[in-house]
A = this chain, B = another copy of it.
Amino acid sequence: MSLSPPLNLADYEALAQPLMHPAVWDYVVAGAGDGITLAENRLAFDRIAIRPRMLVDVSRIDTTTSVLGASVAAPIMIASSGQHGAICAEAECATAKAAGRAGLAMVASSGSNRTIEDIAAVATGPLWMQLYLFPDRPRTVALLQRAEAAGCRAIALTVDSPRWGRKERSLRTEDQFNWPAQANLADLPPATAVWPDGGAPATWADVDWLRGATRLPILLKGILTAEDAALAVERGVEGVIVSNHGGRQLDGVLASIDALPEIVAAADGRCEIYLDGGVRRGVDVLKALALGARAVMIGRPVLWGLAVDGAAGAFDVLDILRRELTSAMALSGRPTIADIDRSLVR
């Protein structure tokens, strides 16, 4: 069966594999440990059944919404992920062009292969920067100031990585590839210490520090419990990203879509809730929104798009997902994002 042109994100996955170096492929698709959480991220979505409403006027479907106050074409964002430069020469600049063309927001990784300034220069949609705290604060402050100066609209602090997860599939092959450098680091003050435990720790005290170190809104990326969501709200963060890091940190943690309801309940509207992990179809976006997410983020599929056709491929991945969401909204009787509520899922 010919997969050309790709009809869905799974087609992009199939097309991307032979185009990517095996070590890069392993890095991208790997989960931690036995891959139980990686699989659950998908299975948990498929266990949720939609209850569609009929005979609603769906002649105009409006997928537009806002993320931290910025208008976007759909509640779909590009999750932060690394190594775009191992997949596409233009690296994160290609990704940013795709996001902008699609009218969507993107989270750039602090470990990107292009500098945040380069990415921001081509980004036309809202740009957030993901952050791993460096042990020495001046280095972190310098990066934050650069992000602010470049026009980033929010900082997504990764909170689930005090140690790097063991992606064993990737550990077996990572030495077979010459990975591109992390561009932001080259222009940062030299490090007085690297992450001593093989990971980027952060604590609630660091969140308070970060609040004082930047004027940008702060999101915590990697929250999986109601308890932590409540603490996040108390600290005054603007958003929480429900995520298990694509199943790449602690294998055995619950699926992100399964964690979402308790977090939405705990936040109770006091900050915005985002979700990544397992979103592969427009109907998955619908399910996440029905359970209270403001928007979803996708990671791996964007990289498959980059591998297949650079910025155009990444755009097409986003566009397929947006079109699937449009169709799913029409077929479930929800013409606007505001119409999507808890009664939509069983």
A236 at the interface (CB under 8 A from B): no
Mask of A54-69 contacts with B, CB within 8 angstroms, 1/0: 1111110000000000
16 contacts between A and B (CB under 8 A): A2-B172, A8-B33, A33-B281, A33-B283, A36-B46, A50-B250, A50-B252, A50-B253, A53-B225, A55-B220, A55-B228, A58-B162, A59-B201, A162-B330, A163-B331, A197-B330
Nearest chain B CB to A237 CB, angstrom units: 11
Q: Determine how close the nearest CB of chain B comes to the CB of A70; give it in whole angstroms.
A: 26
Q: Are A254 and B49 in contact (CB under 8 A)?
A: yes
CA distance A34 to B253 in the complex (A): 26
A317 within 8 A of B: no
Is A252's CB under 8 angstroms from B222's CB? no
Identify the stretch in A88-96, A117-125, A136-144, A202-210 within 8 Å (CB) of chain B at 4 or more residues: A202-210
Would you call A54 and B283 a contact (CB within 8 A)?
no
A165 interfacial by beta-carbon distance below 8 Å: yes
A268 at the interface (CB under 8 A from B): no
CB proximity of A194 to chain B, nearest CB, Å:
14
How many chain A residues touch B (CB < 8 A): the figure is: 68
User: Which residues in B have their C-beta under 8 angstroms from that of A316?
Assistant: none
Q: Copies per complex? A: 4
Q: Which A residues are within 8 Å of any B CB, using their own CB? A: 1-2, 7-8, 10, 33-34, 36, 40, 46, 48-59, 159-160, 162-163, 165-166, 168, 171-172, 197, 199, 201-204, 206-207, 220, 222-225, 227-228, 231, 249-255, 258-259, 281, 283, 286-287, 324, 327-328, 330-332, 343, 346
Q: How far is the CA of A159 from the CA of B56 in the complex (A)?
A: 9
CA–CA, A160 to B51, complex, Å? Answer: 12
CB-nearest residue of chain B to A222: B54
Chain B residues in 8 Å Cβ range of A10: 34
Query: With A and B bound together, what is the CA distance between A258 and B48 in angstroms?
Result: 13
Give the CA-CA distance A283 to B166 in the complex, in Å. 12
Q: In the complex, what residues of B have CB within 8 A of residue A202's CB?
A: 54-55
- Beyond A7-B171, A54-B223, A281-B34, whether A250 also contacts B206 by CB under 8 A is no
Instruction: Tell whether, in the assembled complex, residue B166 and residue A252 are in contact, meaning their CB atoms are under 8 Å apart.
Output: no
Residues of B within 8 A of A52 (CB): 160, 224-225, 250, 253
A331 contact set on B, CB distance < 8 A: 160, 162-163, 165, 249-250
Residues of B within 8 A of A224 (CB): 51-52, 54
Q: Which residue of B lies closest to A254 (CB)?
A: B49
Chain B residues whose C-beta falls within 8 Å of the C-beta of A56 in the assembled complex? 203
Of B55, B163, B206, B207, which is within 8 A of A327 by CB?
Answer: B163
Whether A207 and B162, one on each chain, are in contact in the complex, defined by CB atoms closer than 8 angstroms, is no
- Please judge, given known A-B contacts A228-B55, A327-B163, whether A49 and B258 are in contact too, CB under 8 Å: yes
Task: Give the chain B neighbours of A281 by CB distance below 8 A.
Answer: 33-34, 251-252
Are the CB atoms of A227 and B53 closer together than 8 Å?
yes
Assembled-state Cα–Cα distance A249/B281 (Å): 14
A207 to B56, CA, bound (A): 11
Residue pair B55, A207 in contact (C-beta under 8 Å)? yes
Known A34-B281, A57-B203, A281-B33: A253·B46 in contact at CB below 8 Å: no
Please, how many angstroms separate the alpha-carbon atoms of A29 and B48 in the complex? 24
